[in-house]
Amino acid sequence: MSRIRITGGTWRSRMIQVADGPGLRPTPDRVRETLFNWLGHDLSGVKCLDAFAGSGILGLEAASRGATQVVMIEKERRAFLQLEKNVALFNSPACKLVCGDALECAPAVAADCDLIFLDPPYRLGLLEKFEVLLPRLAKPEARIYAEAEYPLENLGPWRVVKRGTAGQVHYHLLEQP
């Protein structure tokens, strides 16, 4: 088991545990710092969905910065149990946890999202499968953050407005034109 730190907001510098698991690769500190520089550091009033939560670090970063609601979905049981422990450390009413398949659960637990985090396991085509759900889950002005093993141009009507790479990870911020 490893540890990672929250990079900003109320819980800045607090550490969380990360369960070891297949395909679990928490977003590195410097990528999260870049992401929240893009998004702005105050997420007050923002409704978020972390669809493939894993460690929960992206959702916790959003909650730490004031997001009103952060729904975190994780399918892998061991990762979910650690996610529950991590969220309990902060006792935040903004965080709502769901153990299940994001493709099946998301429409029932999240709607009108302002910000969606998509960092699914690689090589399973999950971004493409999730893409069809985005119009039902996100407000038209919503921003989408996606990580992939390849560069993206769009997800449905959302177009890449910012991008970066860290090692073999391609990360993207998408908005509708």
**Structure tokens of 148?**
């992939």
Q: Is 13 within 8 Å of 60 (Cβ atoms)? A: no
Q: What are the structural domains, with CATH classification, of the chain?
A: 2-175 (3.40.50.150)
pLDDT of residue 171: 98
pTM of the entire predicted model: 0.96
pLDDT in tens, 122-142: 999 999 999 999 999 999 999
What is the distance between the alpha carbons of residues 137 and 30, in angstroms, rounded to a whole number? 28
What is the distance between the alpha carbons of residues 134 and 116, in angstroms, rounded to a whole number? 9
pLDDT in tens, 65-92: 999 999 999 999 999 999 999 999 999 9
Q: DSSP class of residue 26?
A: P
**Structure tokens of 94?**
């903004």
pLDDT in tens, 1-13: 899 999 999 999 9
pLDDT at 103 over 90: yes
pLDDT at 155 over 80: yes
Q: Is 145 within 8 Å of 35 (Cβ atoms)? A: yes
pLDDT of residue 1: 83
pLDDT of residue 177: 87
Q: Exposure pattern of 26-37 as b/e (b: 16+ CB <10 Å)?
A: bbbeebbebbbe
